[in-house]
Amino acid sequence: MKIGFNKVGSQAIPFDISKEKLKFSGTLEKFSRSLIELEAKITGELSIPCDICAEEFEKTLDESVKFHLSDGIYKDEDDHEYDIVEIENSIIDLDEILDSEIELFKSSYFCCKNCQN
């Protein structure tokens, strides 16, 4: 799902996308003149390999995400500390954002039930 950066205003725009066994739903809302706030949940099942035995297992996700989107390179003149995702070509690609969040989650350490003992 793609949304033009300039289509997001001060009224929250809801979104809801699914990928495999995951659901990514939330809102996009203008945060400041140059930033949009994305607030969402990622829920469902994700198949990941155990870091010990490499066997695939299902991990239940119920993760909240919140960050800001910038149209291009973000320049902060006020030294605010925001989690910023820089968007290219003025298009917010929610599928790409979900893929990035999944890869970030997969980069953590995971151990299946068999290897926990």
Task: Answer yes or no: pTM beyond 0.85.
Answer: no
Over the stretch 13-50, which tens digit does the pLDDT of each residue have?
999 999 989 999 999 999 888 889 999 999 999 999 99
Nearest to 67 by CA among 82, 50, 56, 49: 82
Residue from 103, 97, 93, 96 nearest 46 by CA: 103
DSSP 39: E
pLDDT tens-place string over residues 66-111: 989 988 666 665 555 567 888 888 899 999 999 999 999 989 999 9
What stretches of 35-81 adopt beta strand conformation (E)? 35-49, 56-71
